[in-house]
Structure 1
Amino acid sequence: MMRLGIIGTNFITDQLIEAASHQDDVQPTAVYSRTEEKAEEFARKHELSYTYTDLQAFAESDYIDAVYIASPNALHHDQAILCMNNGKHVLCEKPIASNHREAQAMFRAAEESGVVLMEAMKSTCMPGFKKIQENIDRIGKVRRYVGNYCKFSSRYEAYRQGEVLNAFKRELSNGALMDLGVYGMYPMVVLFGEPHKVQATGTLLNTGVDGQGTALFTYDDMEAVVSYSKIHNAYAPSEIQGEEGSIIIPDISTPDELTIRFRDGSEEELETETIYPAMFYELYEFNMAIEQNLRGSIINTPHNSLVTSRLMEEARKQMGVIFPADE
């Protein structure tokens, strides 16, 4: 039984605990929050046995084997390393760190402590993504990957009214690329590896973070386009475009209801067999890596996370988005 500690008390942690309820060998047991009131409220809601407002005590707890981190991006590095230095495995929300340097330090700490560190990118662990990998050869030579994720944020509505919430705070290493752009970039890296060139543009808000952006990635014989936004919606799907057909992905963040459209005009729906909540699959992958004494996930590998962090940092800096963590 993996006893899981939780850092963060937001809707994402609610979803993670819901996913854990479908796994007999995972038991959420504890929560850390900066305030006792929030910790107690969250613990009551999810029937957790232990609450902490001292992060050191949380990291040292004998009642926790692994930790799920869903705090603001700027806190991932310090919190993860503290937990790993105390022998805790860590499942860390995407993006795993503010920048590439922090991500490197986190994976070094995991290696030195002999624990698993995995980036919580749910999409690449889902049955739909495996179905994409199994069928990608059927569309012939891939010439273009399009990762499209544009979703108007309720927090942007507050921003337009003059209230800056965490999602648009530079000091927390936030913005559209970090929140949504990563959903397009990470699967690209898993499928095609590291590109040779990155070209990025974006729209900056007055807080110093990006509201929207587009990144073009150049490979030997293909290109990839990732577009993302928190300040408007888009309804176009994502696609993997090959010489013989295309795989249509309606929602890049949760690959499901996939279709292959072949060059001859025929179509085929791909059955994805998504039985459990979306976050079930990343938690299952994390737990399997621990149980099998692996050095990390075989899907969301350290290499994939490090390459993605480097690409995101380069794209961010081309747009002029610099975080305090970079300085």
Structure 2
Amino acid sequence: MIRFAVIGTNWITEALIQAARLHPQFALTAVYSRTEEKARAFASKFDIPHTYTDVQAMAQSDTFDAVYIASPNSYHAEQAILLMNHGKHVLCEKPIASNTAELQAMIAAARSNNVLLMEALKSTLLPNFQAIREHLYKIGPIRRYFASYCQYSSRYDAFKEGTVLNAFNPVYSNGALMDLGVYCIYPMAVLFGSPNEVKAEGVLLSSGVDGEGSLIVKYDEMDGVIMYSKITHSELPSEIQGEWGPLVIDKISSPDKVEIRYRDGYVEEITRPQNGAAMYYEVEEFIRILNSGARESATNSFAHSMAAMEIMTEARRQMGLVYPADTKSQGGSIHA
């Protein structure tokens, strides 16, 4: 059994636990929350024996081997580095950091402590994403990657009424790019690596975060077009366009159906069966790597996480989207 702790008591943590408990080697032994009341309530709900309200004390404990971090984005780097410096393996919710400087420090900490660090980006670990990778050659020379994830946020209604919740607060390194855009960008980084050029536009809200945006990225012989939004909604599928036809993906954030639509009219469905609890696969990957003795995922690798983060950091620079975490990391307060 691999003993896990969780940081954060929100819905995403609950979803992770429910999926992870399908794995025979997952044991949940500790939870951290900023308040004792929330920690105890969460522990009672999921039968967790140990609770913490002090991250330092948690890091020094021997009650768990690995931790899933689902705190606000701006806390990821500091918490992950602290825990890795105490020998804990870290599965960190996407986006793994606020910027490239934080991610560099996190990778350095993972390597120096010989622990596993992996970004918890579920979609690239799903069987249907593996199907995409294996069948990509069938569409011929690839000329365009198109990904769209536009989902109107219920928190935007509160925002318009004058209440700025975490989702639209720059203090937490939030906004549409970090929350939804990453689902479009990360698969592109896994499939095609780092682009040669990034052009970005976005709509900044009064709180200082982006409500929506678009990216055009340039590779040697293809381009990428990305649309994301938390203030509009879209049902558009995503596509990888080759000269012989497009590979169509129903939902880039969690592909359930993938097919190739050849130019001659033939449609080849390449969908694979997969667990309805999509977050299971990131836990399976994490545990598989630990069992193998390795310290890095080949899919959600340091290089892929860095490529995605570089794209997002450059996009934010062009949009004028700045987080307090950017100043903090530049000031040298993030240490490996």
TM-score, normalised to structure 2, is 0.96
Deviation by residue 1:211-236 (Cα, 9 ceiling, x = unmatched): 00001100000000111000010111
Give 2:49's aligned amino acid.
S
Give 2:325's aligned amino acid.
A
Match of 1:93 in 2: 93
Contact in 2 for aligned 1:99/1:313 (Cα 8 Å): yes
Give 1:267's aligned amino acid.
V
1:153 has 2:153 as partner = yes
Matched ranges for 1:66-105 at <5 A? 66-105=66-105
Match of 2:6 in 1: 6
1:294 has 2:294 as partner = yes
Q: Which moved more, 1:250-259 or 1:95-104?
A: 250-259
CA–CA separation in structure 1 for the residues paired with 2:240 and 2:271: 17
Tell me, what secondary structure is at the counterpart of 2:149?
Answer: strand
Give 1:317's aligned amino acid.
R
| Greater than 3 Å deviation, 4+ residue runs | none
Match of 1:240 in 2: 240
Deviation by residue 1:4-26 (Cα, 9 ceiling, x = unmatched): 00000000000110111110101
Contact in 2 for aligned 1:73/1:95 (Cα 8 Å): yes
1:307 has 2:307 as partner = yes
Give 1:257's aligned amino acid.
K
1:262 has 2:243 as partner = no
CA–CA separation in structure 2 for the residues paired with 1:226 and 1:172: 23
Q: Which moved more, 1:263-272 or 1:69-78?
A: 263-272
Match of 1:173 in 2: 173
TM-score, normalised to structure 1, is 0.99
Identity of aligned residues (%): 54
Match of 2:20 in 1: 20
Q: CA deviation at 1:161?
A: 1.1
Contact in 2 for aligned 1:152/1:233 (Cα 8 Å): yes
Unaligned runs of 5+ in 1: none
Give 1:62's aligned amino acid.
D
Q: CA deviation at 1:276?
A: 4.5
Tell me, what secondary structure is at the counterpart of 1:208?
Answer: coil
CA–CA separation in structure 2 for the residues paired with 1:294 and 1:320: 39
Match of 2:187 in 1: 187
CA–CA separation in structure 2 for the residues paired with 1:275 and 1:307: 28
CA–CA separation in structure 2 for the residues paired with 1:295 and 1:279: 20
Q: CA deviation at 1:295?
A: 2.3
Q: Which moved more, 1:116-125 or 1:287-296?
A: 287-296
